[in-house]
């Protein structure tokens, strides 16, 4: 389970990094929210900050917690 303050990796960012080595795929979780993207089911989203000062809301299914 991912919680605030955890170090996570994003597979989508990792794929982008293979194309552009300046991208970062490890980040720290700062916020969490539950949102309905399709109007039916609710999805957990996490606000992740990356070392290059980028921050994104990412679905929980696209994140892996780094132990």
Distances (CA, A) of 56 to 24, 39, 40: 12, 21, 23
Model confidence at 38, pLDDT cuts 50, 70, 90, reads confident
Task: Tell me the mean pLDDT in the region 50-65.
Answer: 86
Q: Is the pLDDT of residue 17 over 70?
A: no
Task: Tell me the mean pLDDT in the region 1-29.
Answer: 77
Which residues sit opposite 62 in a β-bridge? none
pTM of the model: 0.74
Tell me the backbone φ, ψ of residue 61, rounded to 5 degrees: -70, -15
Q: Do strands 55-59 and 63-65 pair parallel, antiparallel, or not at all (unpaired)?
A: unpaired
| Under 8 Å between Cβ of 32 and 47 | yes
Distances (CA, A) of 11 to 16, 38, 50: 9, 22, 13
Report pLDDT for 16: 62
Report pLDDT for 6: 92
Structure-model confidence comparison of residues 11 and 49, the more confident one: 49
């Amino acid at each position: 389970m991912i919680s605030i303050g955890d170090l996570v990796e994003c597979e989508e960012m990792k794929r982008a990094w293979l194309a552009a080595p300046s991208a970062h795929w490890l980040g720290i979780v700062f916020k969490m929210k539950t949102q309905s993207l399709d109007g039916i089911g609710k999805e957990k989203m996490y606000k992740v900050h990356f070392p290059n000062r980028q921050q994104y809301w990412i679905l929980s299914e696209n994140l892996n917690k780094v132990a």
